[in-house]
Amino acid sequence: MQLLGFFLALVGLAATVAATFMVEWKKQAQGKTYRIYEGLWMSCSGNERTTCEFHESLLKLPSEVQATRAVMLLSIFLSAVALLVSTVGMKCTRFMDSKVESKSTTAMIGGIMFIVAGLLTLIITSWYVKMIVQTFYESHRLQSFEFGKAVFVSWAGGLLTMAGGVFLSCRRCSRSERDESISSNHLLPTSSSKSNYV
């Protein structure tokens, strides 16, 4: 279960990083062949051959681009820290072997951090899409930007990161239930043997 959660979160982190640096956050078609793509870091335009340029000034960027860029970077940072914390707390690693309870708690903390990181990605991506749709209708479809592939990659990354965090954080609950069932099984025959002896 821990390995499954870890690899799901790892794939989610990779998708989040890829989406952050993709160009197709929103796109616009002018004519049949001319395309304009805008990302968080650069914009591209052209027909068959596109030319790209980085956003030079941070203050000139729209508010949704600035906010999305900041939250996506925060999500990546949290996922990277959660990756290290989960590695320490997983049962298949040899860190903190002498402290079983602390090791399990560490894995749970890493899972919670993954959940928060994935939730941040989903929230900011959905808000970015909402701003695109709102601008689309307010401009009466004259500024016909649509959300691109990076949005779907970001959504997938957030969902996978959250799913991996759930598996990692719920591992502690399943472990405690299993320990309680084992201890109850040990108590039952002991009490019966004492009663037979008396």
DSSP notation for 8-36? HHHHHHHHHHHHHH-STTEEEEETTTEEE
Please say if the pLDDT value at position 186 is more than 50: no
Q: Is 45 part of any domain?
A: no
User: In this structure, what CATH number is given to the domain that contains residue 107?
Assistant: 1.20.140.150
Place of tokens 């108590």: 187
Q: Is 81 part of any domain?
A: yes
The mean pLDDT value for 162-190 works out to 58
Q: Is 181 part of any domain?
A: no
Question: For residue 39, which of 52, 50, 26 has the smallest C-alpha distance?
Answer: 26
Q: Is 158 part of any domain?
A: yes
Of all residues in the chain, the percent with pLDDT exceeding 70 is: 75
Give CA–CA dist 89/114, Å, rounded.
Answer: 14
Give the H/E segment covering residue 167.
Answer: helix 149-169
Q: Is 152 part of any domain?
A: yes
Q: Is 192 part of any domain?
A: no
Is pLDDT larger for residue 47 or for residue 155? Answer: 155
DSSP annotation of 38: E
Domain residues for the domain of 124 are 1-23+59-175
> Looking at the 3D structure of the chain, how many domains does it have?
1
pLDDT at 125: 93
Supply 15's token pair. Answer: 């998708």
Q: Is 6 part of any domain?
A: yes
| 12 — pLDDT class (breaks 50, 70, 90) | very high
Q: Is 145 part of any domain?
A: yes
